[in-house]
A = this chain, B = another copy of it.
Amino acid sequence: MAKRFIIGIDLGGTNLKIAILGPKYKIRDKKVISTKRFTRKESLISAICDSINRIIENNKLKKTAILGIGLGLPGPIDKRRGLVHFFPNIPGWKEVNLKSILEKRLRLPVFLDNDAKLMCLAEYKLGSALGFKNALCMTLGTGVGGSIIISGSLYRGANNAAGEIGHLPINEKGPRCNCGGNGCLETYIGNNRIISEAKKMFKRNVSLEELSALAKRENKQAQSIWLKVGMHLGIALAGIVNLLNLDAIIIGGGVANAGQILFDKVRETVKKQAMSVQARHIKIFKAKLGSDAGLIGAAILVKEGMRG
């Protein structure tokens, strides 16, 4: 029987997504579980294994039909050795050889990469970045990740750690960041910051979805939060546009669902703050593959990894 299916996993600071993808990276089944209750590394690894076994079973597939498992992970990864260096937003992980742990337990080929790189790979192969020679893809979530296409290829840098746009400082006197820096972009536009700003403003818990809905209904307070997010993101992107003279920037992740108000402010800020030659050229789009980009990228990783 041909190995026609791939397991894709997208681990975030908030959710673990797991999917079975069929031919042409079509998602056949998908589950989302909260990662919050897995406070220990071991319990999170067990949860990953359990959900893989469960989704294979539920789809009445045999392991022999699975080509491999791809994981997108929220931190720097040694892709070649299958090593997690650490996760900025999940404590307890340090130099973990996750590839070998999972291959032993699951008896299937496992491939790891940084989640933002996989999102970028998917958007470049099948989504909004298609056809752009030099592009930045960003994911806005609990963490703010990114990945860069340079001259038509994923740029990995010296240790596969390139792309950490969330950790570009935009204010030297800004708040302390989990990464050890100060005033990193992530401290201004990460999920948690937006939600805590919303809580302060509305004196109750407001989800990102509600905050977007409120802004769309012209709620001035909700709009002011999104405008601030767009301004901060625009300032960081102006610097990157000056530095890298890119063709396109693709923005995905949950926060990107804020929609028009966010994208308009980002574009306006980049046009105003970046140098004219670079600003004239840049295009800024929403990611096309939405929240499935990471899962699709994970499947592409497996396909490319098995090929050679």
Residues of B within 8 A of A173 (CB): 171
Query: By the criterion CB–CB under 8 Å, are A273 and B181 in contact?
Result: yes
Report the Cα distance A242→B133, complex, angstroms: 22
Asked if A169 is an interface residue, CB under 8 A from chain B, the answer is yes
Report the Cα distance A168→B276, complex, angstroms: 14
Residues of B within 8 A of A146 (CB): 243
Residue interface bits A249-285, CB-to-B below 8 A is 1, else 0: 0000000000000000000000011111110010000
Q: Which of A151-159, A208-216, A218-226 contacts B (4 or more CB under 8 A)?
A: A151-159
Residues of B within 8 A of A133 (CB): 158
Q: A273 → chain B, closest Cβ, in Å?
A: 5
Q: A265 → chain B, closest Cβ, in Å?
A: 14
Query: By the criterion CB–CB under 8 Å, are A278 and B161 in contact?
Result: yes
Query: By the criterion CB–CB under 8 Å, are A245 and B157 in contact?
Result: yes
Residues of B within 8 A of A235 (CB): 169, 172, 182
Query: By the criterion CB–CB under 8 Å, are A181 and B277 in contact?
Result: no
Report the Cα distance A308→B155, complex, angstroms: 28
Chain B CB count within 10 A is highest, among A162, A232, A277, for: A277
Query: By the criterion CB–CB under 8 Å, are B245 and A158 in contact?
Result: yes
Copies in the complex: 2
Residue interface bits A141-178, CB-to-B below 8 A is 1, else 0: 00000101011000111111111110111111100000
Give the bracket for the number of chain A residues in contact with chain B: 35 or more
Report the Cα distance A272→B176, complex, angstroms: 12
Query: By the criterion CB–CB under 8 Å, are A161 and B245 in contact?
Result: yes
Residue interface bits A270-304, CB-to-B below 8 A is 1, else 0: 00111111100100000000000000000000000
Query: By the criterion CB–CB under 8 Å, are A240 and B238 in contact?
Result: no
With known contacts A161-B275, A246-B157, A172–B169 Cβ distance under 8 A: no
Residues of B within 8 A of A160 (CB): 245
Chain B CB count within 10 A is highest, among A150, A158, A165, for: A158
Given A170-B172, A172-B231, A180-B276, 7 more contacts at CB 8 Å? A76-B275, A88-B275, A151-B155, A158-B246, A159-B281, A161-B277, A240-B243
